[in-house]
């Protein structure tokens, strides 16, 4: 799947995701953001979980996005990024 299609799908789902999974979509990073994705690459997605979000919201969001995108996804909450890689990830991210 091409990057623009992924971004479009994520943008269209932002409001539903915020309501249903208590999460704000921030952007994508990794191989898809850099234009280096290959067959089998997953999509790395930055999110901010809202107050009251649970593990069920995290898992539900991952399942929802994998079904919607037809690609394996890695959900990465911004506040869990390790300090030593945070700047690199935030600089390469394509924000929604």
The CATH architecture assigned to 3-95 reads 2-Layer Sandwich (3.30)
Q: What is the mean pLDDT of residues 91-95?
A: 96
What is the spatial distance between Cα 32 and Cα 34, in angstroms, rounded to a whole number?
5
The confidence band for 20, taking pLDDT boundaries of 50, 70 and 90, is very high
Contact of 35 with 49, CB cutoff 8 Å: no
Query: Does residue 1 carry a pLDDT above 80?
Result: no
- What's the pLDDT at 46? 98
57 is catalytic: no
- What's the pLDDT at 23? 98
Q: What is the pLDDT of residues 34-73, one digit of tens each?
A: 999 999 999 999 999 999 999 999 999 999 999 999 999 9
Hey, what are 38's tokens?
């290959």
Catalytic entry in 42, 57, 74, 79: 42
pTM above 0.85, yes or no: yes
Q: For helices 55-69 and 3-21, what crossing angle results, to 10°?
A: 150
Structural domain spans, the chain: 3-95
42 is catalytic: yes
- What's the pLDDT at 26? 96
DSSP classification of residue 83: H
């Amino acid at each position: 799947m091409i990057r623009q299609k992924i971004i479009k799908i994520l943008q269209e789902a932002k409001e539903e995701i915020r309501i249903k999974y208590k999460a704000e979509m921030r952007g994508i990073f990794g191989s898809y953001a850099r234009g280096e994705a290959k067959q089998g690459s997953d999509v790395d997605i930055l999110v901010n979980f809202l107050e009251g979000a649970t593990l069920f919201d995290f898992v539900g969001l991952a399942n929802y996005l994998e079904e919607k995108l037809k690609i394996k996804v890695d959900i990465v909450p911004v506040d869990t990024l390790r300090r030593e890689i945070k700047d690199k990830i935030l600089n390469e991210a394509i924000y929604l």
